[in-house]
């Protein structure tokens, strides 16, 4: 009788604890379900967010177009749902004279005509300060050029950003350049030289790199406005200039272009870059800001070695994750370098693959 009573008691306790466990499980599951609904994961949010990107672009070299055929390249961009193609020039790989020669060529005419046919805006994203302030002026006017960290004037790159006389020459030359560089969007991307070398003179030394660059951008905007009243000018936040300016304020018509080239593309944008972007968007209007990414930059992922081309490592899901973040911050203009998606790339990996990476990028921007 005693054994039966103990057994019965144990059964009651086991049933009690089972009921409590099931109740706790039900409560936990309900709590988790509510939490998932209220706070979805980053990846889940990336798939469900309504992305509204108005300007959907790609930045390429003229040689990328000509090696494939301008008509075909524009067709690939159009099929991908892109509505901006920007031509790129720098002082290392493809110079400004090469860009000018392309625009004046038959292929250049085909490119412009095809973009017009499809309603694709043509822009120019250029490292050109060296062209705007000719280096041969150094002998007569060393004060036009930057002071290096050793305290010496140097004509290698950029300029003395507080030199009023140097800025007068820059403003004059930028207007002359605008006579043949004609962005259909009236957005001008006349960047400083592609180096992290700024001026250390007494006047410039009080300004950060982003502030020195903004002094230059404000000046060229003033000049361009006289030639093109609709002109706006990009402030390139890139490497050292991702740090937001404080002492210098942008004139109306300066818009942010945020280019996080130093990021790790196997991971989401890091907290430091996100903070820089957030603060920049408190200084520059979010509605005109543009992201310049590198998701399709074959040249960068190939370590700028044209004989060692690689497939793009960024997946559609990674791109979507980033775009959702940018869109959540109010940014409606997104582009990426697509340098070296060219004839050699198509020959190595195939036209289908090249169209696929462009198409998937376009699908993300179009929320497909």
Q: Domain ranges for the chain, please list them.
A: 1-39, 40-365
Q: Is the pLDDT of residue 26 over 80?
A: no
3-state secondary structure of 363: helix
User: Which pTM was predicted?
Assistant: 0.86
Q: Identify the pLDDT of residue 170.
A: 98
Q: Identify the pLDDT of residue 3.
A: 41
Please state, in angstroms and as integers, the Cα–Cα distance from residue 100 to each residue in 10, 110, 275, 294, 367, following that order: 91, 15, 38, 25, 36
Question: How many other C-beta atoms lie within 10 A of the C-beta of residue 251?
Answer: 14
Average the pLDDT over 342-358 and give the result. Answer: 97
Q: The tokens 């000046």 sit on which residue?
A: 219
Backbone φ and ψ of 337, nearest 5°: -65, 140
Q: Is the pLDDT of residue 15 over 90?
A: no
Confidence of residue 28 (pLDDT cuts 50, 70, 90): very low
Confidence of residue 51 (pLDDT cuts 50, 70, 90): low
Contacts of 8 (CB under 8 A, 6+ apart): none
Average the pLDDT over 234-242 and give the result. Answer: 98
- Cα–Cα distance between 138 and 153 in angstroms, integer? 9
Six-digit token pair at 338? Answer: 């697509």
Handedness of CA 360, 361, 362, 365 (dihedral sign): positive
Q: Is the pLDDT of residue 49 over 70?
A: no
Q: Is the pLDDT of residue 257 over 50?
A: yes
Phi-psi region of 347 (alpha: psi -120 to 50; beta: other; left: phi over 0): alpha
Report the topology of domain 40-365.
TIM Barrel (3.20.20)
Least confident window among 34-48, 99-113, 180-194: 34-48
């Amino acid at each position: 009788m005693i054994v039966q009573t103990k057994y019965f008691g144990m059964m009651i306790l086991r049933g009690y604890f089972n009921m409590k466990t099931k109740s706790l499980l039900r409560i936990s599951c309900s709590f988790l379900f509510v939490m998932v609904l209220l706070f979805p994961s980053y990846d889940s949010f990336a798939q469900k967010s309504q992305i509204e990107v108005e300007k959907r672009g790609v930045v390429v070299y003229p040689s990328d177009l000509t090696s494939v055929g301008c008509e075909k390249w524009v067709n690939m961009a159009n099929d991908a749902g892109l509505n901006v193609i920007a031509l790129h020039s720098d002082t290392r790989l493809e110079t400004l004279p090469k860009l000018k020669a392309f625009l004046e060529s038959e292929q250049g005419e085909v490119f412009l005509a095809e973009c017009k046919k499809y309603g694709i805006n043509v822009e120019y994203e250029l490292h050109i300060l060296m062209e705007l302030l000719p280096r041969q002026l150094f002998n007569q006017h060393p004060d036009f050029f930057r002071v290096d960290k050793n305290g010496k004037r140097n004509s290698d790159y950029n300029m003395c950003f507080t030199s009023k006389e140097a800025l007068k020459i820059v403003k004059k030359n930028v207007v002359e350049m605008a006579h043949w560089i004609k962005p259909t969007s009236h957005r001008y991307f006349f960047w400083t030289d592609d180096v992290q070398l700024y001026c250390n003179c007494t006047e410039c030394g009080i300004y950060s790199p982003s502030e020195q660059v903004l002094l230059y951008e404000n000046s060229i905007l003033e000049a361009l406005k006289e030639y093109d009243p609709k002109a706006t000018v990009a402030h390139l936040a890139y490497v050292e200039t991702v740090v937001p300016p404080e002492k210098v304020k942008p004139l109306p018509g300066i818009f942010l272009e945020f280019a996080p080239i130093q990021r790790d593309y196997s991971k989401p944008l890091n907290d430091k870059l996100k903070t820089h972007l957030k603060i920049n968007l408190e200084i520059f209007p979010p509605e005109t800001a543009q992201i310049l990414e590198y998701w399709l930059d074959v040249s960068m992922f190939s370590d700028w070695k044209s004989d060692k081309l690689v497939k793009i490592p960024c997946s559609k899901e990674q791109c979507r994750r980033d775009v959702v973040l940018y869109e959540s911050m109010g940014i409606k203009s997104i582009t990426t370098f697509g340098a070296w998606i060219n004839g050699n790339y198509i020959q190595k990996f195939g036209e289908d693959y090249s169209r696929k990476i462009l198409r998937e990028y376009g699908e993300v921007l179009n929320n497909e």
